[in-house]
Amino acid sequence: MATNPMPDPARAGRKEWTALAVLMLPLLLVSMDVSVLYFAIPAINADLEPTGTQQLWIFDIYAFVLAGLLMTMGSLGDRVGRRRLLLFGAAAFGAASLTAAYADSAELLIAARAVLGIGGATLMPSTLALVRTLFRDAGQRATAIGIWSGVLVAGVALGSVLSGLLVEFFWWGSVFLVNLPAMALLLLLAPVLIPESKDPSPGRFDLLSVPLSMAAVLPVVYGLKEIPSEGVHVEYVVSVAVGLVFAALFVRRQHTAASPLISPALFRGARGFGPAVVLNLVSSFAMMGSAYYTTQYLQSVLGKSAMEAALWALLPSVLIGCAAPVATALVRRGTDRAYVVAGGFALSACGYGLLFVADTDALWTVLAGAGVLACGAVVVGSQLTDLALGSAPAEKAGAASSLLETGQEFGGALGMAVLGSIGTAVYRDEMPAGVPEGARETLGGALAAAGHLPSPASEALVAAARSSFTSGMHVAALAGAGVLLAAAGVAWVALRGAPQSRPFPKLGALPPDPRSSNAGGAEYVPVRQGSSPSGD
């Protein structure tokens, strides 16, 4: 008599996929909060009357704190438990959102945004590390990570549109209140759907590495973010240099500390982790570098309102949903991951190619370029994330996740700084002599100056500025495409034959013996007696 085969305990069931949907809520909101103030800032200015410096901090403090604490929080999650840190982050994010929504001063709003950054720094690496815990089957995990990558990219685009819609019908604090239902749902369902996981023998937490990591990340990100808009000034160059000095000290500390924040063993382990981190940084470089141009092109070159530009910018996101599943299917059918990643980089380079041929009235060409570039970035990001997490020791999933995400922050800031500076240099060189002060610096400055000129001179200045900006975009697109094609070549060589991710051992497996040749390959996840790992 035939018997039905037992289901594979390594494969996820309904419970895990439901848990993934719950985990995507905080990820979406954390990524949206990067851009959610784009349309709310005029109302905030009218209500709170911040100074120019305070307005900058209202914008930037969230991203700075998020970037500075990612490595700390990822390593902390490995030690205290990723689900526990996730719940702490959700509570902090929700409380800070409520405070920000009803802030009655610029100082309080800045403080609330800083706490939002702390919450975001706990949520991002925790969600990715828990995806690895939930999905022990390599194929299912690749699909889940593809979803994670797509949600992360889509959140940034959705943030600005959502803020525009909410400010249109409600007061500016509503852009923060939308976080509360999702965080409440996470706090209710995560303890039920998500098992706890952590490193069974993490060692002592290295407190000295925390300020060193922040001193390495924050000055570099600050300098790189300011250079595109303010120019290559001494203070920004010094800021980047100071950060790099502390980065060297941080790396040295990781090699000498008994229990480092980011273990060097991550890079010495299975082949693929180091190249994945570096190539993921390059992909973020290209993605954010292009966003610097496409957002300005829609508003300042085509003359669309901020709301119209945000709605048009959503259109390329339609293609993103197809990118990761196609890449995952190719890898699962036996295509070498190196070829898929190289193809993703080449696809993004084609997106830059479309930006290169766009003139001053090429809406659909620019949108197509943005969409193609984003699809390539999602292909690259999903595959490199899966490769990095599959290569890293499972008990270090939080640290590995945080290192990937910190690299993304660096790459994005570097892309805007380098490609933005290239375009700015071309813009200044092509602007005709004798234009009003400020018009030679930026396209926005030229449009503002044109408003004070009589009609023929105003139209001539606007046309010259838009043409010069587009020329700058062309040169930056060439540079971006060159970087991406070089990355495609590196991926083709460095990732060829990289091992596919292995399924995890059963939940509740004993911690690995550090003396064993398989040390670091098991994930220790305590579960209740009699519970089913799949939830089916």
DSSP state of 441: T
Model pLDDT for residues 16-53, shown as the tens digit of each residue: 788 888 888 777 777 776 666 766 767 777 778 777 66
Nearest to 488 by CA among 282, 335, 273: 282
Pair 166, 240 in one domain: no
Which of the listed residues 193, 216, 236 is the one where a domain comes to its end? 193
Co-location of 283 and 318 in the same domain: yes
Structural domain contains residue 483: yes
Same-domain check for residues 80 and 168: yes
Ramachandran area for residue 503 (φ above 0: left; ψ -120 to 50: alpha; else beta): beta
- Would you state the structure tokens that stand for residue 246, as one six-digit string? 């502390």
Check whether residue 222 and residue 90 sit in a common domain: no
Q: In the structure encoding, which two tokens stand for residue 82, read together?
A: 């990723």
Same domain, 441 and 474: yes
Domain shared by 129 and 187, yes or no: yes
The pLDDT value given to residue 52: 65
Is 380 within the bounds of a domain? yes
Query: Would 531 be classed as within a structural domain?
Result: no
- pLDDT given for residue 507 in this prediction: 33
Residues 6+ apart with CB under 8 A from 285: 411, 412, 414, 415, 418, 483
d(CA 122, CA 70): 7
Q: Is residue 329 part of a domain?
A: yes
Tell me how far CA of residue 330 lies from CA of 151, 326, 333, in angstroms: 21, 6, 5
Do 340 and 413 fall into the same domain? Answer: yes
Q: What are phi and psi of 451, to 5 degrees?
A: -65, -15
Give whole-number Cα distances, 489 to 126, 136, 291, 405, 408, in Å.
32, 31, 24, 23, 20
Whether 445 contacts 313, CB under 8 Å:
no
Q: Which domain holds residue 50?
A: 11-193
Residue 220 resides in a domain: yes
In a shared domain, residues 331 and 385: yes
5 lies in some domain: no
Residues 241 and 185 grouped into a single domain: no
326 falls within a domain:
yes
Q: Tens-of-pLDDT digits for all 536 residues of the chain?
A: 444 544 555 676 677 788 888 888 777 777 776 666 766 767 777 778 777 667 767 777 787 788 778 878 877 777 778 888 888 888 888 899 899 889 888 889 889 988 888 888 888 788 877 877 777 777 777 778 777 777 777 776 676 677 777 777 777 888 888 888 888 888 888 888 877 777 667 667 777 878 888 888 888 877 877 776 666 778 888 888 888 898 888 888 877 877 777 777 777 665 677 788 889 888 888 887 887 788 788 888 888 877 777 778 777 777 776 777 777 778 778 778 888 889 999 999 999 999 999 988 888 999 999 889 988 888 888 888 878 777 766 667 777 777 777 887 778 777 877 888 888 888 888 888 777 777 777 777 777 777 777 778 788 888 888 888 899 999 999 999 999 999 999 988 888 766 554 443 333 333 333 333 333 333 333 333 333 333 33
The per-residue pLDDT for 504 is 37
Regarding whether 332 and 303 lie in a shared domain, the answer is yes
Instruction: Provide the phi-psi class of 199: left if phi over 0, else alpha when psi is between -120 and 50, else beta.
Output: beta
pLDDT per residue as tens digits for the range 391-449: 766 667 777 777 777 887 778 777 877 888 888 888 888 888 777 777 777 777 777 77
**Are 242 and 305 in a shared domain?**
no
Question: Tell me: the pLDDT tens digits for 62-76?
Answer: 877 887 788 788 777
Does 286 lie in the same domain as 241?
Answer: no
Tell me, what CATH number does 165's domain have?
Answer: 1.20.1250.20
Phi, psi of 187 (to 5 degrees): -65, -30
State the angle between helix axes of 82-101 and 52-80 in degrees (0 to 180), rounded to the nearest 10: 160
Neighbours of 79 (CB within 10 A): 18
Please count the structural domains in the chain.
Answer: 3
pTM of the predicted model, to two decimals? Answer: 0.75
Q: Is 275 a domain residue?
A: yes
